[in-house]
Amino acid sequence: MTDAKTRIDETVKASDVVLFMKGTKEQPQCGFSSRVAGVLNFMGVEYSDVNVLADEDIRQGIKDYSDWPTIPQLYVKGEFVGGCDIITEMTLSGELDTLLEQQGVGYDKAAADKIREANG
């Protein structure tokens, strides 16, 4: 059996965007995971979701892997971006748009603008 760190490493490198979350993108199981998944879903970002509630090794392992104590955790092109507060701030400031553009990840710019208008 592969250890959690190896499985996590393979997962974050297998997709351009990966969200480790409680629940799934279709059915989040906590408010913070729901907020980040909602932003990504609304912006039309294609991403893989990993339900940490389904695997205790991954649930603890992702915290050790990133040295970040909370879930959700967003990875873009294998790099840890942040949790709910950071993703929310980046979305509202436009930094998430910039990061996605720089990494060649497709998203709906008009949807991102709508999020900023609604929260401005």
E strands present in the chain: 17-21, 48-51, 73-76, 79-82
Q: At what angle do helices 84-93 and 31-42 cross, to 10 degrees?
A: 30
Q: Is 30 annotated as a binding residue?
A: yes
Q: Phi first, then psi: what are they for 26, rounded to 5°?
A: -80, -25
Question: Could you tell me which residues are annotated as the binding site?
Answer: 30
Question: Could you tell me which residues are annotated as the binding site for [2Fe-2S] cluster?
Answer: 30
